[in-house]
Amino acid sequence: MSNPIFFTIPLIAIPILYWAYTYPKNKYKQTNLVLYVHDNHTGDDKSAMTIAGKDGPTTSIMHFGTLLVHDASVTLGPDPGSKEVGRAQGMYINSQLDGKALYMIFSIMFSDGDYKNSTLEIQGADPFVLKEREFSVVSGTGYFRFVRGYGIMTTEFLDIQNKRAIIKLNITVRHF
Ligand SMILES: *[C@@H]1O[C@H](CO)[C@@H](O)[C@H](O)[C@H]1NC(C)=O
Ligand SMILES: *[C@@H]1O[C@H](CO)[C@@H](O)[C@H](O)[C@H]1NC(C)=O
Ligand SMILES: *[C@@H]1O[C@H](CO)[C@@H](O)[C@H](O)[C@H]1NC(C)=O
């Protein structure tokens, strides 16, 4: 047992184990994005419409069971005239019996800016009566491959009469 190999193996193995344990933690990138979604449910420039519900396609999104499809402008600033970087395309389903929460599932499809041609997939609950709602970012494509993260959603502007809203999304994601 005087062979020096028995003493050198632990000396090599310990640093390798340490490296293997700590290395993957530093591999991801973290990106923060602040975006504004413009949802107009009326007018010539309407970007959202209800398509099914308890009273047919015209049922209000405020009722349990209503399905709404949207293709909304996504901009860098709260002003609808600020730079459009993509569209939010997907749907909202009113999925709370008292009507006070939506289930949302949509893609943010970037068409301009730093993340052009990439997408983020948003999924989760939107209890819109709350000031701040946290949602999950479940995946993405392009720059955002293997993405995961969360976002905080706040209603920046709401015109109930004309069904227009500006929603702020503050998204934090980790990806490679
Ligand atoms: C929504 O309406 C506002 C005016 O109230 C307009 O400036 C904006 O371009 C519209 N947004 C979309 C996505 O159509
Ligand atoms: C985005 O996609 C378009 C059309 O497929 C392509 O022409 C363009 O080069 C792409 N831009 C980037 C930054 O990948
Ligand atoms: C976005 O959210 C993070 C926390 O997740 C916060 O630290 C940051 O101040 C927020 N940014 C804006 C512009 O709201």
> Quick count: other Cβ atoms within 10 Å of Cβ 50?
20
Per-residue pLDDT tens digits of the chain, which is 176 residues long? 567 666 666 677 777 777 777 665 667 899 999 999 998 887 777 899 999 999 999 999 999 999 999 999 999 999 989 999 999 999 999 999 999 999 999 999 999 999 999 999 999 999 999 999 999 999 999 999 999 999 999 999 988 877 889 999 999 999 98
Ligand 2 atom closest to Cα of residue 142: 14
Ligand 1 atom closest to Cα of residue 73: 13
Give distance in angstroms: CA of 34 to centre of ligand 3.
Answer: 8
**Topology given in CATH for the domain delimited by 29-175:** AOC barrel-like (2.40.480)
Beta strands in the chain (DSSP E): 29-40, 48-52, 67-75, 84-94, 102-110, 119-126, 132-141, 148-159, 164-175
pLDDT at 80: 87
pLDDT at 40: 87
> Quick count: other Cβ atoms within 10 Å of Cβ 71?
14
